Structure 1
């Protein structure tokens, strides 16, 4: 199913038969002491599960470097500017489309990739008439945390959903004993930090969030923003992956229908 492992004639024949192509994307950045830096490995792993479920799918080599956000300057990490990543993703999608692929699905595992992906999606539609959907893995799965039995305190960078999915897909790369509670981040501008890049000012019962240019050490020392990631577990990861696979399989089937 991996394009990189097949011969060119094999790939050409399968694409000519209508095979879909998945493009996994992620990043190489810090996820704390318990998880590997390459979250693109998990995007690729989910893509492979989707390919096995759908049957007529090829998986392109993953994009290992993500768009720069809070994680620029991490030792060993590589982050690309949005213009660079946009050009890269656009050219990859154009190449796949020119090679005959008419069902292309992006499997994205990094929030910093979203602006580049959206620009590339619009470019492909405007220039080539191609509709290329994207599945934002963690954006989707974060909303399922409580429903699927996950701990609310484990949700966040350095924790779920990445930690549970990683423990399910690649337990050999994870060290769950190092998943520990973190101290609350220090106030920024005298106000509590409410999320990645946001602080909360009091207003009514809940307050209002304001975007600010917070740096990684100010919000997630050591790469961990989750309050207590120790609640992550492979069983939750399996449930998250299963839901992603079911949804993507249904989408790929729908993409076979004539527009």
Structure 2
């Protein structure tokens, strides 16, 4: 059930029976010469909608701009400062709590959002407003991703390329896949990103001239479909698991 497509009496009926909401989050940022800036929020919304269509749980509109200053040197990248993002997501989630939601899954497709969503979840749990957790699609299927791609790349790589090839192929510049690979950084390892135990870079451009990593020519829509189906199954299981929990068990434990 999608919030923006319902009337308020229909949502009243949902809240009277259910208390779980799914919130898709991504970013609007560069994804190399071959993928749209909308890559992350397209992926997040696709997972959130598919999982809630299969289960009947509530899906909110997406949050399309996240914490992305590390991509700021590339045209079109948009971001909000981390404290602003955290406060915005927290305020939105408290809005859901006001309407009767007591558990939330942040369906996230942007790595820059992760730590901030965890912090928001802690704030809301600590004051016992509700229970909110972050879910990221590729982290739910790590073995499959590693099996499908030799160099999957953490940003704009073949896993995200394959996903958009499957979800919205018209947005992929297939004639630029080789350029994305050859002008970017194929292997993202500690050897080329750390010095003496320290992460010495701050921005994507410090490591890759075109903003992306991995071998994008290894992507296919068929691989994207496999990942989408497998990760959606994981998200559906997470939704159903969370729905079964009692809210008291999800709240902070008493001091020993």
> TM-score, normalising length from structure 1?
0.84
The CA distance in 1 between the partners of 2:23 and 2:32, in whole Å, is 26
Corresponding residue number in structure 2 for 1:42 = 43
What do the CA deviations read for 1:177-231 (whole angstroms, capped 9, x no partner)?
Answer: 321122465xxxxxx9736993255xxxxxxx520134332312222221x2111
Distance 1:234 1:195, change over 3 A: farther
Q: Is the 8 A contact 1:22 1:107 kept in 2?
A: yes
Distance 1:26 1:143, change over 3 A: farther
Structure 2 gaps, min length 5: 250-256
The CA distance in 2 between the partners of 1:114 and 1:253, in whole Å, is 22
Question: When the two structures are aligned, how many residues end up with a matched partner?
Answer: 242
Superposed, which structure 2 residues align to 1:105-184 within 5 Å? Answer: 105-141=105-141, 143-147=143-147, 150-180=148-178, 181-183=181-183
Secondary structure at the counterpart of residue 21 of structure 1: strand
The CA distance in 2 between the partners of 1:196 and 1:133, in whole Å, is 32
Greater per-residue helix proportion = 2
Alignment pair present for 1:250 and 2:237: yes
Secondary structure at the counterpart of residue 152 of structure 1: coil
Secondary structure at the counterpart of residue 167 of structure 1: helix
Q: Is the 8 A contact 1:82 1:115 kept in 2?
A: no
What do the CA deviations read for 1:96-152 (whole angstroms, capped 9, x no partner)?
Answer: 1111113321100111101210110001101125221221223444553233xx221
The CA distance in 1 between the partners of 2:188 and 2:47, in whole Å, is 32
CA-based RMSD: 2.3
> TM-score, normalising length from structure 2?
0.85
Secondary structure at the counterpart of residue 144 of structure 2: coil
